[in-house]
Chain A
Amino acid sequence: MSDRILMQGNDAIARGLVEAGCAVAASYPGTPASEILSSIDRWRKKCGATMHVEWAVNEKVAFEIAYTAAISGLRAAVSMKQVGLNVASDPFLSAAYLGVTAGFLVVSADDPGPHSSQTEQDSRLLGMMAKVPVLDPASPAQARTLAATGLDLSEAFCVPVMLRPTTRVCHASQDVDAAPFRPPVREARFVRDPARWAATPVFRRKLHDRLAEKIAAIAAWPATAPVRANPGASPAKAVVASGVAYAHAGELFGELGISDRIALYQVIQPYPLHAAFIDHLLDSYAEILVLEESAPVIEMQVADRRRVRGRMTGAVPGTGELLPEIVERLLSRFAGLPVPAGADPAQGGGRKPTLCPGCAHRSSFYAIRKAAPAGIYPSDIGCYTLGINLGAVDTVLCMGAAVSQAAGFDYAHRLSGKRVDIVATIGDSTFYHAGIPPLIDAVVQGARFVLVILDNGTTAMTGNQPTPGTGIGAGGETTAAVDMEGLVRACGVGFCRTANPDRLPEFVALLKEALAHARERGVAVVIARQPCAMVALAASGKTPGAIVITEECNGCRHCVDRFECPSLVFDEAANRVRIDEMTCTGCGVCVSVCPAGAIRRESPGEKRT
C-alpha cells in the first residue's frame, strides 16, 4: 500500500501552496485552472489553517486582493487561466515594479491546443513583458514543489513570481508525495511607504531599474537553474525542454535509446533564463533543439541563430500543442534516426459539444430566434457559447464583449440608416465579471438592443462555482448576495424583467416586448432565470423519463435542427424522432417545440419548476 496520493495537477499546486503557508488565495474560474482554488479550500479545511479564500468577481480583482496581502506581509496566490491574465494584466505589470514583502505566486494556466480557450497564448511572454520570473512545471508532482519554490523565490527577491502550468499539467493526475502543512503567518503588517506603493512616474523609473537588477540576479538563482537529465557524456547535441514537452522528451529519450548521444536539459525557469546556462549551451554544443509551449521564450534567449533550432527557425511547429507524436518525430530527426510516419490520434472530430439535456439556455436561444428571426446575436464566454448550435450566437470575442458588441452593432448600423434587432446573451457570472461597465456605457450612449442575462445561478462551464448572486462563498459559507435586477436598474436600464425561459410562449412574448422597448427607448434587459440543469439534477436525483414521441411525428426535423437537444435523436431508418432515455431529464420544454404536437409528457404533474 502506497502513502502517495492521487492528485490532479491543480490539486498538487493547491497542496504546494497550502503546505508553504499561503494565507490568502483568490481566483476567477477558467479552464484549465478552475480546480486550484476549490482545492486550496479543501486542503485548508484538512489542515485547519485560517486563510482567506475567495472566488473573486474577475481576475483583476482576484489579483489585487491577493497582491495586497503580499504587500502586507502574508504569503498569497492568485490563479487563473491565460486569458484571465489578460484581464489582470494591468495590476500584473505594475505589481512587478512595486514588488512584494511576502511571497506572491501568480498561477496562470496556459492551454496549448487550445482545448477550452479562445487563444493559445503563452503566459510566459507576459511574464517577460512584465519582468516577472516564470516557473514551468512538467508534471503535477513538480507543480507542487514549484509552487513552494515560487513563493521562496518571490520572497527572496521581493517580486511577484509566475507559475505557468499547461492543460497537460493541470489536468493530469499523478501519485504525488505530500509534505506537512506549514502554518501561515497570520499577522498582517503593511508598512506605509507612499514613494513605493503609490509611486509617481519619477519613482517608477527607479523601481524599474531595481526590477532589472532583480531579474539579472534571478538569472543566477541556483534553486531554479536548469537540470541535465542524463549527466555523463559530452555529446555535440543538446535538447533543451520545459513543461510537459520535457516529460514527453524524457520518456522518448529512453524509448529511442538516444540518452548517450544527446544531452537533455530541463529548464525550470524559462524567464529569466539562467545566464550561465546560456553560456554553457553555446560553449558546449554544436546543435541545440528547444522544445517548449507555446511561444519561443527559451529559444529567443539563447540567441544563436546558427545553432539553435525551435519554433523561430521553423524546426518545431509554430502553433498547436506539442503532442508526444510530434516530439518523437522532432527528436528522431534531430538524432539522425528514421522519422516515424505514424498517424496522429484524432484531435477533434466526433460528436461536438452541445448544451446539456434539460438546459434552460436552449429555451432562451430558441425563443430569441422566434422573437427576432432576422436579428444579430452577440454572445459571450460560457456554456451558452454552444447556442451557436441553435443558430442564436453570431459573435464570441471575450468576457463581457456581448454587451459592448451589441452596442457596437447598433451604432454601426444606425450610421448607415439601417434598423436591425440585436439580442445579446451573457451568463450571470460573465455579466458580473465584465458586463457591467459596457451596460453603463450602452445606457449613456442610448444603444438600442436587448440583453438577455442567462441566469442559471452558477458558473456552469468551469464546474459550477458560485457567482456574486448566489450568496455562497468558495468554501460553501454564506456570503452577501448581489441583487441582479437592482444592479441592472442602477446602471440606468429602463426595462428590466425576469422570467423562466422554459415557459416558452410567455418568454417569446416577453422578448418581443423588450424588442419593442429597445427600438424606441434604448437598452432593455431580460433576465432568463432557471437553475443549471446539472445542479438541479444533482440536487433532486430525479430519474430520467416521462417524455414520449407519439405516432404524430412526421419526421420534419424541426425539434432536432432548431431545438437541438441531444436527447431528441433522429432515427433515419424510421424517419422519425425518438427519445434517448439514457440522457433525457424530462424537463418537457420540447413538448411546446413540436409543430405537430407529437412530443408528449407520459405522466402529467412532474413539471420542473
Chain B
Amino acid sequence: MSADVGKTSHLRQQVVLSGVGGQGILFLSRLLAEAAIAGGLPVITSETHGMAQRGGVVVSHLKAGGFDSPLVRAGRADLLLVLKEENVPLHREFLADGGALVVNAPIPPDAGPRARVHAVDADALALSAGAPHAVNLILLGFALARLGGGTAGGFFCTAGEIRGALTLRQGAGGSRLAASLSALDLGISNGT
C-alpha cells in the first residue's frame, strides 16, 4: 500500500472540506490529493458534483495515508476546513475529539467543546486583494500556517508541497500560478 518514505508510514489523516458551489472546494481537494501523492502518501477523496454545485452545499472528503473507503465517518475528521461559515453546524459532526476546525469567518464560531477553532475572514481578505475567487487558497494558506504542515497533529502536507502541486497544475511562470501563490501566501501571512 503506502510507499514507506519518511513521514508516510505513520501519518494517516482524514479531512473534510465544506463550502458552497462556486467556492472551489473541488479544486482544493484535488490540490491536496496531489500534494499527498507528491509526499508519497496514498490518498482517496470523495467529491460532490451535479446539481449541488449550483450554489448548494458542497462537501469533499479526503483521506491520506492508506484508506479503502472514500468517505470520512462522523466523529473521525482530524481537520474540517469550512469555506462558508453557515456550514459549520451542518458538518461539525465530522470532527474527531480534539480535531481542528479552520473556518472562513470574521469571529470564531462555536464548534463544540472539544474542537480547536481557527477563524479568518477570508472573504474580506479576498475582496481587498481583488481576488474574490481565491477564498479557497487563502483559507488553505491560513490553515497550513496555523496547524503546521507535514507533522502528526498538523497538516499531512507542507506549504512547499502545495506550491509544488499548484505549479504542476497551473504551469510554472504563468499569471494564474502567480495569483494562486500570492493568495496562498496571503493566507499564510495571516496565520502566522
Contact = CB atoms under 8 A, between A and B. Distances in A.
A and B bind: yes
Interface of A: 1-2, 4-6, 8, 31-32, 34, 115-116, 138-140, 168, 171-175, 244, 247-248, 250-252, 323-325, 328, 342-346, 349-356, 383, 385-386, 461-463, 543-544, 566, 581-583
Interface in B2-55: 3, 20-22, 29-30, 33-34, 36-38, 40, 42-55
Interface stretch (B67-75, B136-144, B149-157): B67-75
B55 A172 contact: no
A32 B50 contact: yes
Interface string B100-141: 000000000000000000000001001100101001000000
A353 B54 contact: yes
B37 A2 contact: yes
Contacts of B69: 244, 247-248, 250-252, 324
Chain A to chain B: the 3 pairs with minimum beta-carbon distance, closest first: A116-B50, A353-B56, A31-B50
Nearest to A583: B22
A356 B55 contact: yes
A37 B87 CA distance: 33
B146 interface: no
A251 B55 contact: no
A350 B57 contact: yes
A583 B55 CA distance: 10
B73 A325 contact: yes
7 contacts: A31-B50, A174-B44, A244-B69, A328-B73, A345-B93, A350-B86, A351-B84
Nearest to A383: B54
A345 B47 contact: no
B49 A31 contact: yes
A571 B36 CA distance: 41
B34 to A, nearest CB: 5
B56 A6 contact: no
Interface of B: 3, 20-22, 29-30, 33-34, 36-38, 40, 42-57, 67-71, 73-75, 84, 86-87, 90-91, 93-94, 123, 126-127, 130, 132, 135
Nearest to A35: B49
In terms of DSSP, what is the predominant structure of the interface of chain A?
A: loop
Q: How would you classify the secondary structure of chain B's contact residues: helix, strand, loop or mixed?
A: mixed
Contacts of B73: 323-325, 328, 345
B91 A345 contact: yes
B91 A346 contact: yes
Contact of A353 (B21, B70, B126): B21
Contacts of A462: 50
A4 to B, nearest CB: 6
A246 to B, nearest CB: 8
Contacts of A354: 54-56
B90 A356 contact: no
A389 to B, nearest CB: 10
Nearest to B131: A543
B37 A172 contact: no
A580 B36 CA distance: 35
A370 B48 CA distance: 35
Nearest to B62: A173
Contacts of A32: 49-50
A115 B50 contact: yes
